[in-house]
Amino acid sequence: MKITRRNFIAAVVGGVAGIQATPLPWKFTDDVAIWTQNWPWVPVPATGEFTDVSSVCNLCPGGCGIAVRKVDERAIKIEGRTDYPVNPGGICPVGMGGLQLLYDESLRFTGPMKRVGLRGAGQFKEISWGEAFDIVAGRISNLRKKGTPEAIAAVDGNPEGTTVSVLIKRLMRAMGSPNYVRPPSINDTYRMGNLLMQGTLAPMAYDLENSDYVLSFGAGLLEGWGAPGRVMNAWGMWHDGNPAKRKTRIVQVESRASNTASKADMWVAPRPGTDGALALGIAHVIIKSGQYDSRFIADHSFGFEDWRSLEGVNHTGFKTLVLEKYSPEQVAEITGVNPKTIVSLAKGFVSAKTPVAVYGKGKDNLNGSLYEFMAVQNLNALKGSINRSGGVLLPDPIPLSDLPLLEVDAIASKGLKTPRLDQAGTMRYPFTDSLINNFTDAINRDSKSPVDTLLVFSANPFFTLPDGGGFKKALEKIPFIVSFSPYRDETANMADLILPDSTYLEKVDDIVWPTGLQYPLYGLSKPVVEPLYNTKNSGDTVIELSRAIDDSVGSGFPWENFEEVLQTRAKGLFDAGGGLVSYDPDAPAWQRQTAGNGPKPEYESFDEMWEGIQSEGMWYRPVSSPRSWKGLFNTPSGKFEFSSKLIAQAIENYSNKISKKAALKNMGLAATEDEVCMAHYEAPKAGADLSAYPLKMLPYEMINLASGWIPSPPFLYKTIFENQLLKDKSFAAINPKTAAKYHLEEGELVAVKSPAGEVQVRVNLSEGAMPGIVYLPLGFGHTAYDEFLKGKGVNPNNIVQAGQDPISGYPVWWNTPVKLIKV
Amino acid sequence: MKKANDHGKFKYGMVIDIDKCTGCGTCMVACAAENNVAVRADQSDKERTITWMRLYKISNGKEFPKAEVSYFPRPCMHCDHHPPCVSVCVATATKLDFNTGIVSQIYTRCIGCRYCQAACPYGARYFNWWDVFPQDKGMDRYLTPEVSPRMRGVVEKCTFCHQRLMRAKTLAYAEDRREIEEGEYVTACAEACPAQAITFGDLNNPEHEVSKLIKHPFTFRLLERIGTEPKVYYHSNRDWIRKLGDNFLPGEYTPVVNKSWAEEEWSTKPGRDEF
């Protein structure tokens, strides 16, 4: 177009008029004004009266003491308590960021809700509590009327033994369903191992603080194992003062240079899943050199030497097995650890005064392997570190009272007779309480789900289970899902009905014996703030639900509220005597008191004790003198069993039903005869063509990222390094040598493919990674929650191909074959 | 060496024991929670994410399985000698308080030129590109009134939890005391550290633990040779960690060998066993 005077004027006038019509100049002017002034939307936090409320953190089974700083009714900061026995002052980053889990509204359910959108879309409509109870109770009583109460199932992520989990179990029984399952944790492995080797029922009690040589097989001491506040405090103590005069040495056995491995005095890196073999190699050196505690072995153990049964059959003992099969050279072959290192580990272990061998797998969120645990526990036995200060203590179970016996009606007793979907406790898995992976398979196997109504408590199995996405498929098939989660997690988003729990800062709840602690502790959290929203303590919800179902179920729950149940159980603590309800930091609970010299309880009646527990949040019994050996081991032999008679019995029972060969095969055993009763190494089955999947994927945990059912407070993402998460991509730690084979460079996109699935990540070249292994961080890859957590990275659980651990049946999540494909 | 800030009464500083530090990040979270630090949806862009206390991951550079990692927790160093940020600030929005040794930041004076950010050798300063955090999520409910939330367009940094000093002083005043005791004023990170790796106190007071710890031969500072006299000290028995405290040219770094230490108290060589 030619520029004429006319055109020119038209353009200018048009332009000026046009600018008036667009919002841009106004937006810019506005912005300039805003940027150069004080802007009104910077919040001015209201001030008021400052107070501190003492409570207990319930975000993990660690149960650290917390002091919450408040301004009037607002909680503004969480700090560690110095007057709490578990954690003298420190807490972990997740607990430190806990207020975001309370106040970030988009993470939470603000009241009972009904699903309105598609499953997984997270669209819900608020309803009343009455309506919510009607829906779920109606459904359950229908199933009961139809005579199929076993079609109700519950997934309960509350730690074993907590009062709310006892109530949920009770509700399941009262309704008549055997299908109560739990996500696996390391405590399950401990429980089973202790039962088989020691016949003890109390949780694992490692006396770390008094130990002078901590040989940790895979326990992520600095990754959040046990009560993080306790373990990290011990770490600080171990490193106090002049290093030359340091008392405690720490050795970490792990394939990756984790924080624990890096910070330990020595790091030994066996191939993943071969920790047990390494422990047996160490046992070999100890036995061969004769440096074991012969008194413990002679007086308090069974199955060390070869033995002859009453029927006159000769049996192989642990000594023969280990000397034959686990020489340092043989073990080096399996583990990849230098034989010299194995010898020096054995030397270090036996020459220490009070060494302890600790077993674990990262945090305590996931299970371990039974035989690995047994192999590690054998080291404690060889050194006589069992029932000795600085070793493994054998306390009694916490003396909480049992609830009154539950009488079930005819419908329930019929339902309870139906077999469990997960086959736990059957001849095939004789010592296992619950096998959620089998439960998932049972649902996915048939076209119609055997579960009609699923109740999910304090768990997010969709996200946390190492099952290659199996539970997600199961959820899609289950007709009706009820979630009791306070958070909008992945599993809750699949639910049809939400009966939201209050968060840990809004309710009273108990913590029963933090993982790994060497003395019994009962913690009680209290509402730090009034519930912000229309939520209800799940303990109360269960009681109310039982009454809404029918009178027969409701009659098993005669309590007014959850607190009354807590009190009922706590009676046993009073009856047992000797427990303290306050803590003096100058007398740490782990310091052994001479008999009768320790602090005395300061209460005289149950009411006084309960008042103390409520205000201080604790009941505990400090470590006392070693226990009398008499009746300590409740195994068939009455001794510590290197060779478990219970396992032998279980295999025999099963063999009587089907052939022995089939029995061993079903139980996942490659070994035969006496070996199966003892710790031994079996290479896990590959489950895939290893030429197509030449590498292994190992999920790893970090202390600064929640990988359990609790969401990570958004603050935690500040602590994540840019080579762990960048924008929406998480990183795989790969050894440069392995990466070079695939021509991968730092930051490059790569697909990690297993038979179960595929995820895309970036490459982080890390010398801390074992060649041949792809390490993926756990805790990323949420598809639920809000913009702080959603769509960041990938969840390695989605590609885990888990086999079953022999005998226990727990998932072997550390053995996924993968291949790398450059994107 | 020139002694700076010797006319002030107090000189607060900290010693971080790298060997005790477990790299858990509780100090970072405690700091953010204590100081109303903004949270954004994407916090992986470390240049824009505000972390007054930040962990730097370091590695000994060896191959598997001799590789090991460690962490430098890095707050503001509160340089005692001509803090570079103070020197360059055109708005007098940041200054070194000679009575406490704290390098302060006055948000309402800050004009957002980010000169100080460029000057800081430690990258300890952060610019607010956005407002505190996404609106309408109820997250403003945990903000503490003791620390003013920052508006976008200003620079912020670690203040050694100055509000905690105020709190301790107020308490002392209420109890009719003139002085505050050791331990009455500690930063949020020091208090939160579950491994007690951070010690905080008055470097001018010989009774305080920090002034004893800084005399240790294995105590060092970051970029010590640029002469800003940081008041944050680090401590490690591992030689490779101390070596990373400054940019040494090849051969320039001499391992710390204190004769009396080596002879009297060291039975093994410093650092951990090699396997």
Q: What is the ipTM of this complex?
A: 0.92
- A89 to chain B, any CB pair closer than 8 A? The answer is yes
CA dist., res. A546 & res. A532, Å (int): 25
Query: Which chain A residues are within 8 Å of B192, Cβ to Cβ?
Result: 79-80, 90-91, 96
Look at residue A592 and tell me whether its pLDDT is greater than 80: no
Per mean pLDDT, which range of A244-248, A388-392, A661-665 is the poorest? A244-248
pLDDT 10s digits, A545-565: 999 999 999 999 999 999 999
Q: How far apart are CA A75 and CA A98, in angstroms?
A: 10
> What is the separation, in whole angstroms, between the first and last Cα of chain B?
41
Rounded distance between C-alpha atoms, residue B132 and residue A37, angstroms:
16
Give the pair of three-digit tokens for residue A729: 């991509």
pLDDT, average across residues A107-131: 96
What's residue A595's pLDDT?
A: 56
Share of chain A above pLDDT 90, in %: 87
Return the CATH number of A695-822, one of 2.40.40.20, 2.60.40.10, 2.102.10.10, 1.10.20.140.
2.40.40.20
Segment A222-244 shows an average pLDDT of 88
**Angle (CA) A131 A125 A459, round 5°:** 85
A104 → closest Cβ in B50, B139, B267: B139
| Ramachandran assignment for A623, one of left (phi > 0), alpha (psi -120 to 50 degrees), beta (any other) | beta
- Domains identified in chain B, total number: 1
H/E element, A219: strand A213-219
Query: Hey, how many other C-beta atoms are within 10 angstroms of the C-beta on B176?
Result: 6
At A64, list the tokens: 């650290």
Q: For residue A173, how many C-alpha atoms fall within 13 Å in the half-sphere facing its CB?
A: 13
CA–CA gap between residue A99 and residue B143 (Å, rounded): 10
Q: Read off φ and ψ for residue A762, nearest 5 degrees.
A: -95, 160
Nearby residues of A498 by Cβ (< 8 Å), 6 or more positions away:
A109, A112, A113, A114, A115, A124, A132, A482, A483, A484, A485, A492
Nearest-Cα distance to chain A for B179, in Å, is 23
Identity of the amino acid at B128: N
Closest A-chain CA to B38: A715
Residues of A with Cβ-Cβ distance to B195 under 8 angstroms:
90, 232-233, 235-236, 239
Residue B150 domain-assigned (yes or no): yes
Please tell me the distance from the alpha carbon of residue B86 to that of residue A6, in angstroms, as a whole number: 59
What band does B269 get if pLDDT is binned at 50, 70 and 90?
Answer: very low
For A246, residues 6+ apart whose C-beta sits below 8 A from its C-beta are: A238, A239
In angstroms, the CA A813 to CA A471 distance is 15
**pLDDT (tens digit per residue) in A72-117:** 999 999 999 999 999 988 999 999 999 999 999 999 999 999 999 9
Mean pLDDT estimate for chain A = 93
Average pLDDT over residues B132-159: 88
Q: How many CB pairs under 8 A join A and B?
A: 235
Q: Is residue B80 domain-resident?
A: yes
When scoring B15, B18, B26 by the number of chain A Cβ atoms within 10 A, the one with the most, hence best to mutate, is B26
- Kindly state the tokens that stand for A740: 């070079």
Query: What are the DSSP calls for B239-256, one per residue?
Result: HHHHHTTS-PPTTT----
Query: Within 10 A of A662 (CB to CB), how many other CB atoms are there?
Result: 12
Cβ count within 10 A of residue A72:
12
**Among the listed ranges A380-384, A416-420, A703-707, B216-220, which one has the minimum average pLDDT value?**
B216-220
- Adjacent-strand bridge partners of A511: A523
Residue type (1 letter), A5: R
Instruction: List the alpha helices (DSSP H) in A181-227.
Output: 186-197
pLDDT at A40: 58
Q: What residues in B contact A242, CB-CB < 8 Å? A: 265
Q: What's the CA gap between A690 and A302, in Å, rounded?
A: 40
Tokens linked to B87: 């020197």
Confidence of residue A366 (pLDDT cuts 50, 70, 90): very high
Task: For residue B127, give the CATH number of its domain.
Answer: 3.30.70.20
Q: To 10 degrees, the CA torsion angle through A385, A388, A389, A393?
A: 90
User: Is residue A800 within 8 Å of A699, Cβ to Cβ?
Assistant: yes
Task: Flag if B22 and A235 touch (Cβ within 8 Å).
Answer: yes
B205: distance to nearest CA of chain A, Å? 21
Tally: H helices and E strands in chain B: 8, 10
**pLDDT, position A54:** 96
Who contacts A294 (Cβ-Cβ below 8 Å, separation ≥6)?
none
**Interchain CB contact of A563 with B (< 8 Å):** no
Residue A179 and residue A359 in contact, taking contact as beta carbons nearer than 8 Å:
no
A80 → closest Cβ in B134, B140, B192: B192
Q: Using an 8 Å Cβ cutoff, are A63 and A86 in contact?
A: yes
Contact A794, A730 (CB under 8 A): yes
CA distance B105 to chain A (A): 17
Facing residue for B44 by CB, picked from A75, A79, A720:
A720
CB contact under 8 A, A90 and B267: no
Q: Residues A5-21: what's their mean pLDDT?
A: 88
DSSP A371: H
Q: Decide: residue B255, CB within 10 A, 0-12 exposed, 13-18 middle, 19+ buried.
A: exposed
| CB-count burial class (<10 Å; 0-12, 13-18, 19+) for B268 | exposed
Residue B270 lies in a domain: no
* Chain A environment of B43 (Cβ under 8 Å): 714, 717-718, 720
Residues 476-535 of A with CB under 8 A from B: none
Range of the domain at B206: 12-265
A497: part of which helix (H) or strand (E)? Answer: strand A497-498
Confidence band of B263 (pLDDT split at 50, 70, 90) = very low
A255, A275 contact by CB (below 8 A): no
**Residue A516 CB coordination number (10 Å):** 26
Give the residue-averaged pLDDT of A342-353: 95
Structure tokens that stand for A636 in this block: 């068939």
CATH 3.40.228.10 fits A204-397+632-677, yes or no: yes
Answer yes or no: do A722 and B61 touch at CB < 8 A: no
Touching check for B46 and chain A: CB below 8 Å? yes
Domain ranges, ordered by start, for chain A: 5-35, 204-397+632-677, 695-822
Query: What does DSSP assign to residue B263?
Result: I
| CB atoms A90 and B194 under 8 Å | yes
Question: Tokens 């990040």 map to which residue?
Answer: B25
Under DSSP, the state recorded for A707 is: -
The tokens for B66 are 């001799």
pTM for the full predicted model: 0.92
Q: Which residue has the tokens 């059912």?
A: A709
Are the CB atoms for B238 and B254 separated by under 8 Å? no
- What is the pLDDT, as a whole number, of residue B237? 83
Q: Which chain B residues are closer than 8 Å to A703 by Cβ? A: 22, 24-25
> Does the CB of B130 have a partner CB in chain A at under 8 Å?
no
Instruction: Tell whether A154 lies on the interface with B, counting CB pairs under 8 A.
Output: no
A356 vs B: CB within 8 A = no
Of A670, A689, A668, A682, which is closest to residue A817 (Cα–Cα)? A689
Q: How far is B125 from chain A (nearest CA, A)?
A: 15
Which of B262 and B196 is assigned the larger pLDDT? B196
The alpha-carbon gap from A195 to the nearest alpha carbon of chain B, in Å, equals: 33
Q: Tokens 């805003």 identify what position?
A: A34
* Residue B6 belongs to a domain: no
The values of phi and psi at residue B142, to 5°, are -95, 5
| B69-74/B94-96 β-pairing | unpaired
Encode pLDDT of B18-67 as tens digits.
Answer: 999 999 999 999 999 999 999 988 999 988 899 999 999 999 889 998 89
- Least Cα separation, residue B8 to chain A (angstroms): 30
Q: Which amino acid is at B215?
A: K
Residue pLDDT, tens place only, B88-116 = 999 899 999 999 999 999 998 888 899 99
Distance CA B37, CA B47 (A): 15
Listed residue (A197, A138, A104, A60) closest to A714, CA to CA: A104
The CA distance from A653 to A663, in Å, is 9
Give how far B188 is from chain A: nearest CA, Å: 9
d(CA A303, CA A678): 9
* Phi, psi (rounded to 5 degrees) for A729: -115, 130
Higher pLDDT pick, A288 / B255: A288
Mean pLDDT of A505-530: 95
Domain annotation covers residue B250: yes
B143·A42 Cβ contact <8 A:
no
